[in-house]
Structure 1
Amino acid sequence: MHRNGEPGEVMRLEEVERPVPGEGQVPLLVRAANINFPDALLCRGQYQVRPPLPFTPGVEICGETEDGRRVIATPALPHGGLAEYVVADAAALLPAPEALDDAEAAALHIGYQTGWFGLHRRARLQPGETLLVHAAAGGVGSAAVQLGKAAGATVIGVVGGPDKARVARELGCDLVIDRRADEIVGAVKEATGGRGADVVYDPVGGDAFAKSTKCVAFEGRIVVVGFASGAIPTAALNHALVKNYSIMGLHWGLYNTKDPAAVAGCHRELTALAARGAIKPLISERVPMKDAADAVQRVADGITTGRVVVLPEGDAR
């Protein structure tokens, strides 16, 4: 990335020097790099972190240490994960679960950690409660669907279009609402006998948040995860007051600095869930490095399902 802009226009494949580890860092061979929506924001210069130009996007990988260990890592920017080699903080490396292949392991970290902290630490989701997940067929939403089912919740997924509705059903949603064809608020209330959703997981913002406030249950919890729609809503706090619901934010990255032990504990929980088959990242595409820019653009445009993972050229892992 030599300038900010749309990923498909400004990302280009180049040969550069391998990054040199700093104090407390280790070099890693990239086995698979998962694409996240923040990669698109990095390209546009709209992310909360703005690395100096030129930089390489890619915030989540499955990599290999020099002594052959397979690990999950967040590469240290400006040397992001859409590359053959990265450096990462040694203290933050996590063992890749044996139950997952490289692409699946690369997609386990940020989305599933965000889902676990959002649903369990923030919203305190309980067995038997109803969970409403927006963008349920996407990378972040699909993780929340699986985690919600693993927690014993009834899961309602909101998607856009019949193809994504099919994916959401395959993920295990008990009810799928197509926002393009169905009326979200009425469908949620009908499915819950008028009560509404106990927990709402919202990585979309905008109109999705507005509709969530109209179908959240008494003492329900709306977890704000992101704003993939591009619209940051303004909460009407008087409405939260009269309906007795909570609005809570979830910025998973803060746990890395505020409570790293909780991140490690969460990873142990996720590894156990993966081992028994309760969660498995939905990998919709595995693309070579030469197609990375197009892949990031499609994630930015919201037209992908599940996770798109970039693999080294010619690698079938």
Structure 2
Amino acid sequence: MKAIAIKTAGDPDVLQLQEIPTPKIKNSTEILIRLKAAGINPIDTKLRQRGTFYPEQMPAILGCDGSGIVEAVGSQVQRFKVGDEVYFCAGGLGKQGTGNYAEYTVVEEYLVARKPVSLSFAEAATAPLVLLTAWESLYDRALLESGQKVLIHAGAGGVGHVAIQLAKLKGARVCTTVGSPDKERLARQFGADYPIFYKQTDFIQAVLDWTDGNGVDVAFDTVGGKVFFDTCQAVKVYGDVVTILEPDAKIGNLKEARNRNLRISLELMLTPAVKGLVDAQKHQTKILEQCSRWLDEGKLKIHLSQSFPLIDAVKAHKLIETGSTTGKIALIID
């Protein structure tokens, strides 16, 4: 089969079109999927730059997110049959025989959910990782409740635009940081109550003004760096801060967070895959199944900003590394 793979870590040009043996079902609970699209996420670019979780297993196919059609099933597969349309977040961390920048992949049944009927393959392929990240951050980590006020950073981004929608579905009010009028319009489309132009406005003061000086109940940091530490000043006493980046002690300190008695949560939706936590992975599949229903009911939307053919993976990586994209980017596999 054709695949985009890397033989060594490096810049986007290490992504090369290669001919690789088509993976085969080895376990009775596995599914062979003919991929129609793959989502591109920042984790893909980081693994390409720094090396994968399995550096001894090269070449490696990247891409955690995928969608496609069931081509074959193992003898004990019960939930799917040949011809079913599916989407999932599995593989792509460098382990041999996995990854979705390819024509085929083999995935365990418990990692797979039915593709939302209302979404194209490209849209569906970009959804799983960001849906799981936003869900776990807001619902599982912060325990978001109806009526609470939430700050979501980068509301027009891949994680941010679904986080806004999930927060609204829970009955929360949402403020979000944006960098341009176009991104403000996009954030409002997804339900943001108060977009904040962070380049012109001190977002801390804007949040405090919006909350009568109290701060938000929950803050969701998708940016990291200094933004994480600044965000602690915009959260109410005994509030929650969830970040998807590792806080850097060289940039700031947690004194303000400690004074406010904040609960700080670190979110990495890849932990179940990296640690081999099957029950946690099954929980993630149930999340995708619920999100699939909401997507088909029109309660959730995925903003696909751009698609590239598989052969143009280098262009797609260069684009996402600009840090200025909105929504999601997909690779189309024909």
Matched residues in 2 for 1:216 and 1:32: separation?
39
What aligned pairs does 1:1-317 form with structure 2 within 5 A after superposition?
Answer: 1-7=6-12, 9-23=13-27, 24-45=29-50, 50=55, 52-66=57-71, 67-76=82-91, 77-78=95-96, 79-226=98-245, 232-233=248-249, 236-255=253-272, 257=277, 258-313=279-334
Structure 1 counterpart of 2:318, which letter? Q
The answer as to whether partners of 1:42 and 1:50 remain within 8 angstroms in 2 is no
Cα contact 2:87–2:113 (8 A) shared by 1: yes
Measure the CA separation in 2 of the matches of 1:139 and 1:51: 31
Structure 2 CA distance for aligned equivalents of residues 138 and 221 of structure 1: 21
Q: TM-score, normalised by structure 1?
A: 0.90
SS of residue in 1 equivalent to 2:32:
strand
Shift in CA distance, 51/202, structure 1 to aligned 2, threshold 3 Å: farther
- RMSD of the alignment, in Å? 2.1
The separation in 2 between residues aligned to 1:245 and 1:47, in whole angstroms, is: 34
Structure 2 distance, partners of 1:72, 1:38, is 18
Report sequence identity in percent: 30
Deviations 1:85-111 (A, max 9, x none): 122223311111223221222122111
Report the Cα distance in structure 2 between the residues aligned to 1:291 and 1:242, rounded to whole angstroms: 49
| Structure 1: runs of 5+ lacking an equivalent | none
* Residue 181 (structure 1) shift: 1.7
Q: Which runs of 5 or more residues in structure 2 are unaligned?
A: 1-5, 72-81
Deviation of the 1:47 alpha carbon:
5.6
Change (3 A) 1:49 1:246: farther
Higher normalized strand content (fraction of residues)? 2
Distance 1:284 1:210, change over 3 A: same
- CA distance in structure 2 between the partners assigned to 1:84 and 1:273 by the alignment: 28
Aligned to 1:29, the other structure's residue is in SS state strand
Decide which moves more: 56-65 or 169-178: 169-178
Between the two proteins, the alignment pairs up a number of residues equal to 309
Looking at structure 1, the residues matched to 144 and 217 of structure 2 have their Cα atoms a distance apart, in angstroms, of 8
